[in-house]
Chain A
């Protein structure tokens, strides 16, 4: 079975600062990893996903994530955030044909 731990429930940052949202996973099989974003009062939208190949994955809105198999991590980063990045971010893991398992979410607040 898979599990996901998002290490920070809330991350406040100032506009134009870099940000890293941390995600660790556990799985007994090879995994596929996802980051979703949820803007206020909306559904979830895929930011990026890791399936195989390059461990550095680029997504929408300038976000990227790095898959680290030895650390079982998939941290999300952005070099310079905007007010519009304020949202809740969910890391999710999927092993083979298993169902998607979500972390509890990290609320990113970007302050002016």
Chain B
């Protein structure tokens, strides 16, 4: 299994509070991704990173920010959580973006915003 961990694995928070989710990899892969999974929507890309300090927006980036200060860590921040951000969040990594580079997924973080 690819060395990807996510923390916390579960979190319950209240509307309006800031939340940070962490993804940590031991594979030294260049690309890291944050997805959210919601019933009936599959996985949707929030943000991704193609190197330290290099990030870009995905399909559903509003309300989220990311940071990558080290190759191994990719942080997802909800500045002011809303109930619509209740979801399961997955981190993924890949060696590259081109061609058939496989993405490897972490175990997920279940976030509930009350």
Q: Which residues of A contact B (CB under 8 A)?
A: 6, 9, 32, 34, 36, 41-46, 49, 51, 90, 94, 96-97, 99-100, 102-105
Q: Which residues of chain B have C-beta atoms less than 8 A from A9's C-beta?
A: 40
User: Shortest beta-carbon distance, A98 to chain B, in Å?
Assistant: 8
B binding-site residues for A, Cβ under 8 Å: 4, 40-45, 48, 58, 90, 92, 97-100, 102-108
Give the distance in Å from the alpha carbon of A33 to the alpha carbon of B106 in the complex: 21
Query: Which B residues are CB-close (under 8 A) to A41?
Result: 108
Q: Of residues B42, B48, B99, which shows the largest number of chain A Cβ atoms within 10 Å of its Cβ?
A: B42
**Least Cβ distance of A93 to chain B in Å?**
11
Question: Are B40 and A51 within 8 A (Cβ)?
Answer: no
Considering residues A6, A32, A46, A99, which has the most beta carbons from chain B within 10 angstroms of its beta carbon? A99
A-side contacts of B104, CB under 8 Å: 46
Contact yes or no, A97 B43, CB < 8 A: no
User: Per a CB cutoff under 8 Å, which of B40, B92, B98, B105 touches A97?
Assistant: B98
Nearest A residue to B1 via CB reads A45
On whether the beta carbons of B43 and A90 are closer than 8 Å, the reply is yes
Q: Which residues of A contact B43 (CB under 8 A)?
A: 44, 90, 102
How far, in angstroms, from A46 to B104 measured CA to CA in the complex?
A: 8
Whether B42 and A103, one on each chain, are in contact in the complex, defined by CB atoms closer than 8 angstroms, is yes
